[in-house]
Structure 1
Amino acid sequence: MEERVIGVNVSTIATTHLNYINGQWVRSLNEKVEASINPANKNEIVGYIQKSTKDDLDNAVKSAYQAKKSWKKIGQAERGQFLFKVANILEENLNDIAETMTREMGKTLPEAKGETARGVAILRYYAGEGMRKDGDVIPSSDKDALMFTKRTPVGVVGVITPWNFPVAIPIWKIAPALVYGNTVVFKPATEAAVTAAKVVDCFAKAGVPKGVLNFITGSGSVIGQQLIDHSFLDAITFTGSEGVGQVVANSAASRGIKFQLEMGGKNPVIVTKDADLDQAVEAVISGGFRSTGQKCTASSRVIIENQIYDTFIEKLVQATKKITVGDGLKEGIWMGPCASENQFNNVREYIELGKEEGATLIVGGETLSGEEYSKGFYITPTIFGNVKPEMRIAQEEIFGPVITLLRASDLTEAIEIANNTKYGLSASIFTSNISSLLEFIDEIDAGLVRINAESAGVELQAPFGGMKSSSSGSREQGETAKEFYTAIKTVFIKGN
């Protein structure tokens, strides 16, 4: 999967990670590479990845196309057993992969270990799908006939994933795709491609047949677009920005292939006057600032009833000031850097925008400097008060450690504010009133609804996806994943 090369401006040896096509680790045809940088220390190169070409992509898709018939024929039970092998290998390499994740995208090591363990659990869940039913018997109007359904794989599936969860998201797409009989071409985000390569290596070590899983790195404009447009592709699953997701949808729709999109959120947390404020503060801190706020389900808008607004802010600020920021590999660090220079600059621009819009910067918003921070992309956890629903910082996904606070006179107004956005991924409420939580469940426009819990939380066995501009297509994860990765055949058998 790799070759050893000397990195530029570093004293250690960096590794070049190759593409995995038709069962082999191969160099890109143009032999060009680019560096993956540690956001905690921009002078450290975590590894090099391939800047692949259209011809590389063509080889990967053709390899998947040629393998799909034989992979389908081995049967669902055997495919499930293969995923069990992958899960064991991933578990054996958990510490190395987690450390690579932290070095590559900045997430703290405990979070990275938790995510990698979650990847193991996802693999084992879908391994179990190998022994579950793939259809139903349906009564026929003809008493002498047998009618039933069975599921069949869609074919070659393209998987495009982001950098914020470089283990969990690829696995929750690849594992169901494979167990249900599809072959895969996997393109990770460049910023987390070294971690992704190590995940793919677990599949390779488990003995994935040639062509069943193909891994290719490169720019979205070249590799991503060519993958979507390839004539051998049957379906595309994408997690990333809304703008790119719209391009994916348009391209897939024009070709008539299946597509599945998860494109982020602007997730609200409502805190009512009867809430447990200490519980709410703890959840808002975790939901808003864990992973440096770089989660699609992160808590970015907190809507508070007037009666408790000042008290809640005081508690929230006190808790925020206790957060330790630094290199995620170090003990005692609660929040790491932004994942890249581009993300760092984007967050800083939104902080300046919030000030210009008239919001009150209550705490944070600082770029950390000094010897410990000068080489990384560090921003302190940020809270804006007196935010109006129409402000851009209350409408647009910042994808960083920025929380906006909004006032509401009552629950009805709070829900109206919460729904006043184009997104609808996740939402939560803190209340001790049963009527309030039932109203929230019914009226909130979100695919993931959480009560007295942070907005950022996804269970692998449950459907995941949003409403409005957050998602398109069928849900991910859980048993629901088969809706995207399979097609239903209705079979009618009549005796002679």
Structure 2
Amino acid sequence: MVLPFKHEPFTDFNDEVNKKEFEAALNKVKGELGQEYPIVINGEKIFTDDKLTSYNPGNKDEVVGKVSKATKEHIEQAMESAKEAFKTWSTWSPKERADILFRAAAKIRRRKHEFSAWLAYDAGKPWNQADGDTAEGIDFLEYYARQMIELGEGKELNHRVNEHNAYTYQAMGPGVVIPPWNFAFAIVAGTTVAPIVAGNTVLMKPSENTPVIAYKLVEVLEEAGLPKGVLNFVPGDPAEIGDYLVDHIDTHFINFTGSRATGTRIYERAAKVHEGQQQLKTVVAEMGGKDTIIVDKEADLDLAAQSIVDSAFGFSGQKCSACSRAIVHKDVYDEVLEKSIELTKELTVGNPAEENVYMGAVVNRKQFDKIKDYIEVGKQEGELAYGGKTDDSKGFFVYPTIFKDMDPEGRIMQEEIFGPVVGFAKANDFDELLEIANNTEYGLTGAVISDNREHLNRARTEFQVGNLYFNRGCTAAIVGYQPFGGFKMSGTDSKAGGPDYLHHFLNAKTVTEAF
């Protein structure tokens, strides 16, 4: 019997025992920094001279690890491996495949702090954020395993006299997984194991920023008994192998999370049918957001401020769900702004590999420079209300920044910054609050802080986002509780961690037998 899904609990780091255990995990990982990691094709570990080097964002000279880079030749080898492994893996029962995920989840759970410590180094994640990332990865393994067992039963159809009809699901074939760096364990795990438990084989190209923690997932899946060739680990330069993976005639699906620019490029390229290709490619794309928290005049203003600050500055705003826009009713605008500034002043910034802080550094030099440029834009478009400080002397630190009196059509309020920057704008009434909230090309997450039930009911249908929250922040979706994904230019609304997600990696099949 498979127990019902229950999400992995978060660690309370106010507990001294938990704190000491996490510090021990950080020390353990520190002793393993600087190692070299291979490509993995058909279970074979391949080391190359050309490598990706991962650095600690909070200590930019500290090497986390060096990971071998795959070439197009390696991609061909990996695809052949995936095609061969598919022949047998696709014949395993859903329960047998799910058991691999259950075993992997148990192994990760026993080493939870260790995986989170790797996130503190590889991605610069603060303790709470790293713990949540690891917990979400466990949740994906547990949830998708259960979903596949259920789908393995097929769906009930009607029958006629002397005729039996069956509706079942079967795997597609080899596919490509391209996860991001910001949820360097959770999304890597979710996007990888979903197609695998559905019976497909995978070529996984991790982000070049966080390849070490991605390799740790490959290791644990192998330890859990995943057969050779089912998961092929092919880190590399996106410019060299990205298009090649997408264009390959044997690629059946592309599961991507990342920027709008890359996502739309993948969507376009995947639509082309190449000579020798025998299937249309499925694209699952989550491409970012420009997320808004609305504050109504009838609202808990302390809750509003806390929701804005947590959603804007958690993991330095490096979430596609992060609140980068606070649209506040004019009657409470000044009070919500002031309360948000006061809360922001309490936030701590530092290196999570060394101390338990609220915010760490942003992931790399490119992001640091980009966010720094946006802060200068913000000074031209509105008024800097708090923060604006940056420091790259040791790591890539951008301090929490609040702009006020912003033009809703300005760049700060329209473009995805992916950093700890939030802009405030005021609205005259609820109509205008909704109008501004919907004025971007994105449609990922949003929140409404209001005690007005009529307004909440309107927002339920009129606020154009895939994940809408009432009287809480707009981040922190839980697997199985808030299936995640948006529409418009936020992606294909695939709803990761939801009951429909595995359908993207399965072909539905009807079989009719006459008697």
From the superposition, tell whether residues 469 and 130 of structure 1 become closer, same or farther in structure 2 (CA, over 3 Å): closer
User: What does the per-residue CA deviation read over 1:47-66, in whole Å, with 9 as the maximum and x for residues that have no partner?
Assistant: 11122211111111111111
- 1:10-31 Cα deviation digits (max 9, x unpaired): 9996111111110122123xx2
1:366 to 389, 392, 398: 389
What CA distance in whole angstroms lies between the structure 1 residues aligned with 2:401 and 2:488? 27
Moved more, 49-58 or 129-138: 129-138
Q: Structure 2 counterpart of 1:295, which letter?
A: K
**Closer, same or farther in 2 for the Cα pair 1:172/1:307, shift >3 Å?**
same
Whether 1:401 and 2:424 are equivalent positions in the alignment is no
Q: Which range moved further: 116-125 or 157-166? A: 116-125
Q: Does the C-alpha gap of structure 1 residues 310 and 190 become closer, same or farther in structure 2, counting only changes over 3 Å?
A: same
Residue 329 of structure 1 pairs with residue 353 of structure 2: yes
Structure 2 residue 216 is matched with structure 1 residue 198: yes
- Check 1:126–1:374 CA distance in 2 against 1; reply closer, same or farther (3 A cut): same
Q: Deviations over 1:428-464 (max 9, x none)?
A: 0000111110011110110011101111121211432
Task: Indicate if the aligned counterparts of 1:156 and 1:182 stay in contact, CA closer than 8 A.
Answer: yes
Q: Distance in 1 between the 2:347 and 2:170 partners?
A: 49
Residue aligning to 2:71: 53
Alpha carbons 1:129, 1:179 under 8 Å: kept: no
CA distance in 2, matches of 1:468, 1:282: 28
Note the C-alpha offset of 1:395.
0.2
Residue 54 of structure 2 aligns to a residue whose secondary structure is: strand
SS of aligned partner of 2:36: strand
Alignment map for 1:175-324 (pairs within 5 Å):
175-255=193-273, 256-324=280-348
| 1:443 lines up with 2:443 in the alignment | no
In the alignment, is residue 417 of structure 1 matched against residue 436 of structure 2? yes
Provide the aligned C-alpha RMSD in A: 1.6
The 1-side partners of 2:199 and 2:493 are apart by 20
Hey, what's the Cα distance between the residues in 1 that align with 2:326 and 2:291?
9
1:5 alignment counterpart: none
Match of 1:322, as an amino acid? E
Determine if contact 1:39/1:338 at 8 Å carries over to the other structure: yes
TM-score, length basis structure 2: 0.90
Between 1:470-479 and 1:336-345, the stretch displaced more is: 470-479
The residue aligned with 2:397 is: 378
The 8 Å contact of residues 27 and 50 in structure 1, kept in 2 or not, is answered as: yes
Larger mean CA deviation between 274-283 and 261-270 belongs to 274-283
- Counterpart AA for 2:469: R
Q: What does residue 477 of structure 1 align with?
A: 497
CA contact (8 A) 2:33 2:64 kept: no
Aligned-residue offset at 1:299: 0.5
CA contact (8 A) 1:158 1:186 kept: yes
Deviation at 1:477, TM superposition (A): 2.3
2:11 alignment partner in structure 1: none
1:127 deviation in Å? 2.1
Of the candidates 157, 167, 170, which is equivalent to residue 188 of structure 2? 170
Q: Are 1:339 and 2:363 an aligned pair?
A: yes
Gap change, CA 1:186 and 1:117, over 3 Å in 2: same
Please, which of 41, 62, 70 is the counterpart of residue 21 of structure 1?
Answer: 41
* Aligned AA (1:273): K
Q: Give the drift of 1:473.
A: 6.2
| Alignment partner of 1:42 is 2:50 | no
The amino acid of 2:374's aligned partner reads Y
Q: Tell me, what secondary structure is at the counterpart of 1:254?
A: coil
1:130 is displaced (CA, Å) by 4.2
SS for the counterpart of 1:421 is coil
Partners of 1:328 and 1:19 lie apart in 2 by 28
CA contact (8 A) 2:127 2:357 kept: no
Residue of structure 2 in register with 1:3 after alignment: none
Partner deviation per Cα, 1:256-295 (whole Å, 9 max, x = no partner): 3111110000001000111101111111111100000000
Post-superposition Cα deviations, 1:91-113, rounded to whole Å, max 9, x if no partner, equal: 23322221111112211022112
Q: Supply the distance in 1 between the matched residues of 2:215 and 2:32 (Cα, whole angstroms).
A: 20
SS in 1 for 2:161: coil
Q: Is there any run of 5+ residues in structure 1 with no aligned partner, and where?
A: 1-9
CA–CA distance in structure 1, aligned partners of residues 307 and 398 of structure 2:
20
Percent identity (aligned): 36
Q: Kindly indicate whether the alpha-carbon contact (under 8 Å) linking 1:83 and 1:127 is maintained by their aligned counterparts in 2.
A: yes
Q: Which whole-Å CA distance do the structure 1 matches of 2:464 and 2:291 have between them?
A: 10
Given residue 279 of structure 1, which amino acid in structure 2 is its aligned partner? L
Corresponding residue number in structure 2 for 1:6: none
Matched residue pairs, number? 478
Deviates more, 1:442-451 or 1:104-113: 104-113
Distance in 2 separating the partners of 1:52 and 1:71: 24
Alignment-mate amino acid for residue 110 of structure 2: E
* 1:221-261 per-position Cα deviation (integer Å, ceiling 9, x unaligned): 11221111112111111000111111100111113311111
Q: Which amino acid aligns with 1:210?
A: K
CA distance in structure 1 between the partners assigned to 2:418 and 2:93 by the alignment: 41
CA drift of 1:129 comes to 2.8
Q: Are residues 1:460 and 2:479 paired? A: yes
Once residues 164 and 332 of structure 1 are traced to their aligned partners in structure 2, the CA distance between those partners, rounded to angstroms, is: 19
Question: Would the aligned equivalents of 2:181 and 2:210 in 1 still touch at CA under 8 Å?
Answer: yes
Match of 1:77 in 2: 95
Whichever residue aligns with residue 426 of structure 2, its letter is R
The whole-number CA distance in structure 2 between the counterparts of 1:319 and 1:219 is 40
Residue 349, structure 1, aligned to residue 349, structure 2:
no
Are residue 93 (structure 1) and residue 117 (structure 2) matched? no
Partner of 1:493: 513
Whichever residue aligns with residue 456 of structure 2, its letter is: L
| CA contact 2:286–2:492 (8 Å) conserved in 1 | yes
Q: Cα 1:13–1:68, aligned 2, differ >3 Å: closer, same or farther?
A: closer
